[in-house]
Amino acid sequence: MRRTVRVAAIQAEPKWLRLSEGAEQVVELIGNAAAAGARLIAFPETFLPGFPWWRWVDSNQWNAEYSTRCRENSMTRDGAEMRRITAAARDHGVHVVLGFGERQDRRIYMAQAVIDENGDIVSIRRKAGLNSIERKVFASGTPNLPAVQHGVIGKVGALSGQENQRPLLTRALRADEEQIHIAAWPGHPEGDAPGPDSAPTVSRMYALEAHAYVVAPCAVVGSAAWDRRGPQTTRRTGQARIYGSSGTDIVTPLTAGVEGILYADLEVGAVAPDRREVDLAPRHRARRGQQAAARTAPARRLGTDRWAVPLIRGTSSDGMTAC
């Protein structure tokens, strides 16, 4: 049975390092998208409290100050801000995929929450494969395979930033016949230069390889990101995209750097014939690999995370096999 699902990709500038204002912004955007008929609303990577582009500025004093502010303005998974956001999802009856900095004790993680139409947090994943800049601010999460969420709007999966290029993670989602994929991006002060690692290229390739819709929300990065310090630029960058399984835009993107919400109506239903023919063998191989990993590697439940299956074998101090 096929159904039409309206999705929304957020293209907006975060309320940099201001958690309370950022939570209000998220609630407002959820309401606006729901009023336009969206049933799935996707936010950029680390939208709360904003991706730390200030790490590119070579000033140890500034970086120390902003790292402290980033930690203080990051959100806990059971805090008042998260409760407001889940209440908004419940009140509007929409699904939300939110990228946020998750604070636990003195550490911050790059987290991605999936919230269902009842306001329940279905899963929270902490990004494990951090780049050199991200590691200066965030702690690495527990390596675990992502899971596709099966719901009334279809089979939905989500990854953040460079995770969309990691074969082991993408194959895990493809093995479960993902239909809608959220590829969340933080934007970039210089925009997306053409190349194999740019957000549009990665998102397109994912759509082609997975034969799935790709909803790619993206943060707008402007002068406000620098808080009147560091490089001053009047150029605003960041462009959300929504791709079909052919890797082409389903709808015309918004102008880069202009805040707004990009909508598309997706026809979600049975797996397409071309996907069955092209992806059948890889899917079976990936599934067999997951079953083998489950037999040989222990797993444990991490709060609202799904079961964590190690990517690389090794033994930690608590006896858990992990990277």
Q: Which of 160-164, 220-224, 285-289 has the highest mean pLDDT?
A: 160-164
Which strand (E) or helix (H) includes residue 248?
Answer: none
Q: Crossing angle, helix 199-210 and helix 167-175, to 10 degrees? A: 40
270 three-class SS:
coil
Amino acid at residue number 148: V
Span 265-272, mean pLDDT? 76
Give CA angle at 28 (89, 7), nearest 5°: 55
Could you give the CA distance from residue 149 to residue 268 in angstroms, rounded to a whole number?
A: 14
Amino acid at residue number 299: A
The residue with greater pLDDT, 120 or 230, is 120
Q: Quote the pLDDT of residue 47.
A: 98
Do the strands 121-126 and 149-151 form a parallel or antiparallel pair, or are they unpaired?
A: unpaired
Could you give the CA distance from residue 125 to residue 100 in angstroms, rounded to a whole number?
A: 10
Q: 153: left (phi > 0), else alpha (psi -120 to 50), else beta?
A: alpha
* Ordered structural domains, the chain, with CATH: 3-296 (3.60.110.10)
pLDDT above 90 (res 149):
yes
The structure tokens listed for 213 are 């819709």
Task: Classify burial at 218, counting beta carbons within 10 Å of its beta carbon; exposed 0-12, middle 13-18, buried 19 or more.
Answer: buried
pLDDT band for position 194 (50/70/90)? confident
pTM above 0.85, yes or no: no
Phi, psi dihedrals of residue 194, rounded to the nearest 5°: -55, 140
Q: Which of 64-68, 185-189, 318-322 has the highest mean pLDDT?
A: 185-189
The chain-wide mean pLDDT, for the chain, equals: 84
Q: Quote the pLDDT of residue 230.
A: 56
Do the strands 154-160 and 180-184 form a parallel or antiparallel pair, or are they unpaired?
A: parallel
Could you give the CA distance from residue 182 to residue 310 in angstroms, rounded to a whole number?
A: 23
Give Cα 305 distance to the centre of its chain. 14
- Give the closest residue to 79 by CA, choosing from 48, 45, 47, 125: 48
Q: Quote the pLDDT of residue 312.
A: 36
User: pLDDT tens digit string along 10-54?
Assistant: 999 999 999 999 999 999 999 999 999 999 999 999 999 999 888
Whose tokens are 């690389």? That residue is 312
Span 213-235, mean pLDDT? 79
Cis status of the peptide bond prior to 14, with omega within 30 of 0: no
Q: Quote the pLDDT of residue 57.
A: 62
Whose tokens are 């067999």? That residue is 288
Q: Quote the pLDDT of residue 301.
A: 39
Q: Quote the pLDDT of residue 297.
A: 42
User: pLDDT tens digit string along 88-141?
Assistant: 999 999 999 999 999 999 999 999 999 999 999 999 999 998 988 899 899 999
